[in-house]
Amino acid sequence: MSIKVTNLTKTFPAPGGDVHALSDINFEVKTGQFVSIIGKSGSGKSTLLSQLGALDQPTEGSIMVDEQDITKLSGHKQTAYRSKKIGFVFQQYNLIPNLTALENVMLALEFGGMAASKRKDKALELLASVGIDEDQARRRPGKLSGGQQQRVSIARALANQPALILADEPTGNLDSDTGQAIFKLLHDLTRSHQTTIIVVTHDLDIAGRTDQTYQLKDGKLVNYKIGKK
């Protein structure tokens, strides 16, 4: 999935005047690229991710995903876009607490339109691919470690074979070793499935190992570092 962002602007009204979270952002991501976005807190990283994931509407600009402007989609089509083409990985994992790991993954499969009879096997397969065994799959998130929860979160993100994974600080709550393992998992995906990944991170070490890194500063996007590790 290729992405082309043109003149993207997001403004929030505030008592002291409008706040420009994103100002005239332009960048392009090619299919299968692993891109990182770094920046200080409040620099607009999560806002940019929201626009790319069709979670929010920009004030101006366009986001062309495979030649289709997702900012022009209806609410219903944006939901379909999220369920079939996008996988989200969050810093806080955001698993549904009263569902087991297996059921969390099956939930995404349900939203993707998979037949009920196939969901369980597919979910177990996805969980196994991220290193979650069947015993762990039957536990609720509260009974799993942070790293295990993030693996479940990645399995959920992969459920409908998305072309794009948007990860918001995926290693932010994990220790160094676990963070490295999660990064490797995401990195391998880009190579094995040609999945495009855009990750927001504070971790410059991780950012340095992606295909391309952008920095968000006061709502503006600049090239920070380009390179492959």
The binding site for other proteins (CB under 8 A) comprises: 46-47, 49-50, 53, 55-56, 76, 79-80, 82-84, 88, 90-92, 94, 96-99, 103, 106-108, 110-112, 116, 156, 160, 168-169
Closer CB to other proteins, 159 or 189, in the complex: 159
The distance of closest approach from Cβ of residue 55 to other proteins in the complex, given in angstroms and rounded to an integer, is 4
Closer CB to other proteins, 55 or 73, in the complex: 55
The distance of closest approach from Cβ of residue 88 to other proteins in the complex, given in angstroms and rounded to an integer, is 5
The distance of closest approach from Cβ of residue 228 to other proteins in the complex, given in angstroms and rounded to an integer, is 28
Tell which residue, 191, 204, 193, 178, has the closest CA to residue 37.
204
The distance of closest approach from Cβ of residue 136 to other proteins in the complex, given in angstroms and rounded to an integer, is 18
Closer CB to other proteins, 43 or 91, in the complex: 91
Instruction: Return the number of other C-beta atoms located less than 10 Å from residue 116's C-beta.
Output: 9
Tell which residue, 211, 149, 210, 155, has the closest CA to residue 178.
149
Closer CB to other proteins, 16 or 115, in the complex: 115
Distances (CA, A) of 164 to 24, 41, 99, 189, 195: 22, 24, 25, 11, 6
DSSP-derived pairing of the beta strands 3-12 and 60-65: antiparallel
Closer CB to other proteins, 136 or 160, in the complex: 160
The distance of closest approach from Cβ of residue 85 to other proteins in the complex, given in angstroms and rounded to an integer, is 10
